[in-house]
Each structure stands twice: as C-alpha cells, then as structure tokens.
Amino acid sequence: MTSDWRKDRIGSALRGENPSVLRRLDAGFAVIGDVQFLPGYSVLLADDPAVERLSDLPRGRRMAFLSDMERLGEAVERACRRSDGAFRRVNLEILGDTDGFLHAHVWPRYAWEPSDLVGMPVWLYARTHWSDARYALGPQHDGLRAAIAGELDRLRSSG
C-alpha cells in the first residue's frame, strides 16, 4: 500500500483509491484500521471531507452516519467473535482531536489484552503499538477483512 491515500482518506475513498475500504455505506465508508494490534479494528469515515463533527450534518445524514456506525460495530463483533474465542465486546467512539474530519472508531476488545488495559480506553496502549510494523495492516488480515465485509453485506440484506 502506498501512503499517498492516507493524506486524503475520504477523497481517496470517494475516488475508489483507498485500499482500506471494506464497503461503501449510506453515509460513509467502512474501512479497516491501519493498525491491527486489536484485530478487526475498523473506522467509519464520513463521506464528505468537509464535515468535521457529527453536528455538522443535517439530522437525516446524522442518523444515517450513526446507523452506519452501529452496523460496522455489529459486523466487527460478529467477525471477531468467530475468529477469536477471547473476543469480549466492541467499543464505539467518535473522537475529533487528531483528524479534522468526522469518523468513528470501532475497537474489538479481547480477554487476552494486558490486565492493566483490558478495562481501559484503547488510547492508553503504548505509542509503539501505533507504529510497530508487526501491528500494521497487511495480507495476514485478509481473512478478517473479508469476514467483516461479508458481515456488512449480510446486515445490509437483513436490515
């Protein structure tokens, strides 16, 4: 993967050039995270790069974004539960401190996490987890990636 698309995640998704996109949803793009120290980590990107916060959206688009977030969360939950018996839950977060565009984090959480972090926010993991090559998204995640995408498809057709 080249790093160029990371400079414009939403624009590259709109152009079909973002390799992390799992599926186009109603109000955004479901993408698999750049780091996978918690396997299955995914992000929902709003489909308009000018939207900085949830309150920037009109009510209907806001509800569509939240519905997409819930759908991605359920897809990650289903896929991760099947792939790892130590799966515990999914945490959903909308933050806006670093990236200036609306996005939601979907973090699977596992029983094998260090005991001092298992009940804490994922942001307390050491900074090295965010940059260590062994946690980078790669071909080893293709199975989980396909499982999440398949669950998104099932949820669309059942919902």
For residue range 138-156, what is the model confidence (pLDDT) as tens digits?
999 999 999 999 999 999 9
Q: Parallel, antiparallel, or unpaired for β 87-94 and 103-110?
A: antiparallel
pLDDT confidence of 1, banded at 50, 70, 90? very low
Structure confidence at residue 45 as a pLDDT band (50, 70, 90): very high
Distances in whole angstroms, Cα of residue 55 to Cα of each of 52, 59, 63, 111: 8, 8, 11, 35
Arithmetic mean of pLDDT, 33-37? 96
Q: Provide the domain limits for residue 152.
A: 4-158
Say whether pLDDT at 3 is over 60: no
Domain at 73, CATH number: 3.30.428.10
Q: Which amino acid is at 146?
A: A
Number of domain units in the chain: 1
Residue 46 near residue 102, CB atoms below 8 Å: yes
Tens of pLDDT, residue by residue over 90-115, are: 999 998 777 889 999 999 999 999 99
Q: How far apart are the first and last CA of the chain?
A: 33
Between residues 97 and 71, the one the model is more confident about: 71
Strand partners of residue 24? 29
Number of H helices, E strands in the chain: 4, 5
**Cβ atoms 59, 27 nearer than 8 A:** no
- What integer is the mean pLDDT of 37-59? 96
Higher pLDDT, 123 or 98: 123
**Pair 152, 22: CB distance under 8 Å:** yes
